[in-house]
Amino acid sequence: MAPVAPRSGDAIFANIERVNAELFTLTYGAIVRQLLTDLEEVEEVNKQLDQMGYNIGIRLIDEFLAKSNVSRCVDFRETAEVIAKVGFKMFLGVTASVTNWDAEGTCCSIVLEDNPLVDFVELPDNCQGLYYCNILSGVIRGALDMVSMKAEVTWLRDALRGDDVFELQVKLLKQVPEEYPYKDDE
Protein backbone atom coordinates (compact mmCIF):
# COMPACT_ATOMS: atom_id res chain seq x y z
CA MET A 1 0.00 0.00 0.00
CA ALA A 2 1.26 3.43 -0.91
CA PRO A 3 2.07 5.70 2.02
CA VAL A 4 -0.74 8.02 2.93
CA ALA A 5 -0.04 11.46 1.57
CA PRO A 6 0.08 14.14 4.22
CA ARG A 7 -2.78 16.60 3.99
CA SER A 8 -0.74 19.40 5.44
CA GLY A 9 2.92 20.26 5.51
CA ASP A 10 2.99 21.10 9.22
CA ALA A 11 4.92 18.03 10.27
CA ILE A 12 7.50 18.40 7.53
CA PHE A 13 7.80 22.13 8.16
CA ALA A 14 8.57 21.43 11.80
CA ASN A 15 11.40 19.11 10.87
CA ILE A 16 13.29 20.89 8.14
CA GLU A 17 15.88 23.57 8.65
CA ARG A 18 14.57 27.08 8.66
CA VAL A 19 16.06 30.54 8.35
CA ASN A 20 15.04 33.75 10.01
CA ALA A 21 12.05 35.23 8.21
CA GLU A 22 13.46 38.73 8.05
CA LEU A 23 16.72 37.52 6.60
CA PHE A 24 14.77 35.66 3.95
CA THR A 25 12.49 38.61 3.18
CA LEU A 26 15.30 41.11 2.95
CA THR A 27 17.45 38.81 0.85
CA TYR A 28 14.65 38.41 -1.64
CA GLY A 29 14.11 42.16 -1.52
CA ALA A 30 17.76 42.73 -2.30
CA ILE A 31 17.53 40.43 -5.30
CA VAL A 32 14.53 42.26 -6.70
CA ARG A 33 16.15 45.62 -6.01
CA GLN A 34 19.31 44.54 -7.85
CA LEU A 35 17.31 43.22 -10.80
CA LEU A 36 15.51 46.55 -11.05
CA THR A 37 18.83 48.38 -11.10
CA ASP A 38 20.42 46.02 -13.61
CA LEU A 39 17.58 45.49 -16.04
CA GLU A 40 15.91 48.90 -15.66
CA GLU A 41 12.68 47.73 -17.33
CA VAL A 42 9.98 46.45 -14.96
CA GLU A 43 8.76 44.01 -17.63
CA GLU A 44 12.24 42.51 -17.92
CA VAL A 45 12.41 42.11 -14.15
CA ASN A 46 9.11 40.23 -14.18
CA LYS A 47 10.48 37.89 -16.84
CA GLN A 48 13.75 37.39 -15.04
CA LEU A 49 12.03 36.63 -11.72
CA ASP A 50 9.83 34.11 -13.47
CA GLN A 51 12.85 32.46 -15.06
CA MET A 52 14.67 32.34 -11.72
CA GLY A 53 11.59 30.81 -10.16
CA TYR A 54 11.44 28.22 -12.92
CA ASN A 55 15.03 27.24 -12.28
CA ILE A 56 14.27 26.91 -8.59
CA GLY A 57 11.10 24.94 -9.27
CA ILE A 58 12.68 22.26 -11.43
CA ARG A 59 15.12 21.50 -8.60
CA LEU A 60 12.76 22.04 -5.71
CA ILE A 61 10.27 19.44 -6.90
CA ASP A 62 12.80 16.68 -6.23
CA GLU A 63 13.37 17.85 -2.69
CA PHE A 64 9.65 18.16 -2.26
CA LEU A 65 8.92 14.63 -3.42
CA ALA A 66 11.78 13.20 -1.37
CA LYS A 67 10.72 14.79 1.89
CA SER A 68 6.95 14.99 1.68
CA ASN A 69 6.11 11.35 0.90
CA VAL A 70 3.22 12.37 -1.27
CA SER A 71 2.17 9.69 -3.67
CA ARG A 72 1.12 10.17 -7.26
CA CYS A 73 -1.76 12.60 -7.58
CA VAL A 74 -4.76 11.16 -9.37
CA ASP A 75 -5.82 14.39 -11.01
CA PHE A 76 -4.96 18.04 -11.28
CA ARG A 77 -7.31 18.91 -8.44
CA GLU A 78 -5.25 16.86 -6.07
CA THR A 79 -2.05 18.34 -7.45
CA ALA A 80 -3.25 21.85 -6.74
CA GLU A 81 -4.28 20.89 -3.22
CA VAL A 82 -0.89 19.36 -2.54
CA ILE A 83 0.89 22.47 -3.83
CA ALA A 84 -1.21 24.77 -1.69
CA LYS A 85 -1.37 22.73 1.50
CA VAL A 86 1.94 20.88 1.55
CA GLY A 87 4.24 22.71 -0.84
CA PHE A 88 3.65 26.24 0.38
CA LYS A 89 3.76 25.14 4.00
CA MET A 90 7.00 23.27 3.52
CA PHE A 91 8.95 26.02 1.80
CA LEU A 92 7.27 29.28 2.79
CA GLY A 93 5.69 28.36 6.10
CA VAL A 94 2.24 29.50 5.04
CA THR A 95 -0.74 27.61 3.70
CA ALA A 96 -2.71 28.66 0.69
CA SER A 97 -6.22 27.74 -0.34
CA VAL A 98 -7.44 26.52 -3.70
CA THR A 99 -10.59 28.01 -5.19
CA ASN A 100 -12.31 29.04 -8.40
CA TRP A 101 -12.17 25.74 -10.26
CA ASP A 102 -13.45 25.81 -13.77
CA ALA A 103 -15.77 23.11 -15.08
CA GLU A 104 -13.05 20.97 -16.69
CA GLY A 105 -10.90 20.98 -13.58
CA THR A 106 -7.87 22.36 -15.42
CA CYS A 107 -7.79 25.87 -14.08
CA CYS A 108 -7.85 27.07 -10.51
CA SER A 109 -6.73 29.83 -8.21
CA ILE A 110 -4.27 29.50 -5.37
CA VAL A 111 -5.01 32.17 -2.81
CA LEU A 112 -2.31 33.31 -0.41
CA GLU A 113 -3.47 35.45 2.44
CA ASP A 114 -0.14 35.62 4.13
CA ASN A 115 3.03 36.04 2.13
CA PRO A 116 6.40 36.29 3.88
CA LEU A 117 8.04 37.69 0.75
CA VAL A 118 6.24 40.99 0.94
CA ASP A 119 6.76 42.06 4.56
CA PHE A 120 7.82 45.73 4.58
CA VAL A 121 7.34 46.08 0.84
CA GLU A 122 5.46 48.94 -0.72
CA LEU A 123 5.56 49.51 -4.46
CA PRO A 124 6.80 52.98 -5.38
CA ASP A 125 5.18 54.82 -8.29
CA ASN A 126 7.90 53.94 -10.77
CA CYS A 127 7.49 50.18 -10.25
CA GLN A 128 3.73 49.89 -10.60
CA GLY A 129 3.95 47.17 -13.26
CA LEU A 130 6.16 44.98 -11.11
CA TYR A 131 4.94 41.58 -10.00
CA TYR A 132 7.05 41.50 -6.88
CA CYS A 133 6.40 37.83 -6.15
CA ASN A 134 6.74 36.65 -9.71
CA ILE A 135 9.33 34.16 -8.53
CA LEU A 136 6.52 32.10 -6.96
CA SER A 137 4.67 31.67 -10.22
CA GLY A 138 7.93 30.53 -11.79
CA VAL A 139 8.54 28.01 -9.04
CA ILE A 140 5.12 26.43 -9.52
CA ARG A 141 5.52 26.37 -13.28
CA GLY A 142 8.95 24.78 -13.00
CA ALA A 143 7.87 22.20 -10.46
CA LEU A 144 4.83 21.14 -12.49
CA ASP A 145 6.99 20.98 -15.61
CA MET A 146 9.17 18.33 -13.99
CA VAL A 147 6.19 16.13 -13.22
CA SER A 148 5.02 16.27 -16.85
CA MET A 149 2.44 18.97 -16.51
CA LYS A 150 2.71 22.05 -18.66
CA ALA A 151 1.06 24.85 -16.79
CA GLU A 152 0.60 28.55 -17.12
CA VAL A 153 0.74 30.55 -13.91
CA THR A 154 -0.43 34.15 -13.76
CA TRP A 155 -1.18 36.63 -11.01
CA LEU A 156 -4.81 37.60 -10.69
CA ARG A 157 -4.62 39.61 -7.51
CA ASP A 158 -1.65 41.18 -5.81
CA ALA A 159 -1.87 42.68 -2.33
CA LEU A 160 0.93 45.10 -3.22
CA ARG A 161 -1.35 46.61 -5.85
CA GLY A 162 -4.17 47.21 -3.45
CA ASP A 163 -5.98 43.86 -3.50
CA ASP A 164 -6.68 42.12 -0.22
CA VAL A 165 -4.89 38.84 -0.99
CA PHE A 166 -2.48 37.24 -3.43
CA GLU A 167 -4.14 35.08 -6.04
CA LEU A 168 -2.27 32.92 -8.49
CA GLN A 169 -4.11 31.38 -11.40
CA VAL A 170 -2.76 28.00 -12.36
CA LYS A 171 -3.93 26.75 -15.72
CA LEU A 172 -3.07 23.25 -16.86
CA LEU A 173 -2.21 23.44 -20.55
CA LYS A 174 -1.44 19.79 -21.19
CA GLN A 175 -0.28 16.69 -19.47
CA VAL A 176 2.73 15.26 -21.24
CA PRO A 177 2.39 11.48 -21.33
CA GLU A 178 5.37 9.75 -19.81
CA GLU A 179 7.42 8.14 -22.50
CA TYR A 180 9.12 4.86 -22.15
CA PRO A 181 12.79 5.55 -22.62
CA TYR A 182 13.32 2.58 -24.99
CA LYS A 183 11.28 0.64 -27.42
CA ASP A 184 9.75 -2.62 -26.27
CA ASP A 185 11.16 -4.81 -29.01
CA GLU A 186 14.75 -3.75 -28.65
Helix/strand/coil (H, E, C) string of 7-44? CCCHHHHHHCCCCCHHHHHHHHHHHHHHHHHHHCCHHH
Binding of other proteins by 125 (CB under 8 A): yes
Name the phi and psi angles at 18, rounded to 5.
Answer: -125, 160
* Bridge partner list, 152: 171
Among 6, 29, 93, 116, binds other proteins (CB under 8 A): 29
Query: Shortest Cβ distance from residue 31 to other proteins (Å)?
Result: 9
- Contact track, other proteins, 33-62, x by CB under 8 A: x--x--------------------------
Binding of other proteins by 161 (CB under 8 A): no
Binding of other proteins by 26 (CB under 8 A): yes
Helix/strand/coil (H, E, C) string of 153-180? EEEEECHHHCCCCEEEEEEEEEECCCCC
- Which range of residues in 1-9, 106-114, 124-132, 161-169 is near other proteins by CB under 8 A? 124-132
- Which range of residues in 22-30, 84-92, 95-103, 150-158 is near other proteins by CB under 8 A? 22-30
Phi-psi region of 40 (alpha: psi -120 to 50; beta: other; left: phi over 0): left
Binding of other proteins by 32 (CB under 8 A): yes
Among 17, 40, 104, 122, binds other proteins (CB under 8 A): 122
Name the phi and psi angles at 132, rounded to 5.
Answer: -60, -35
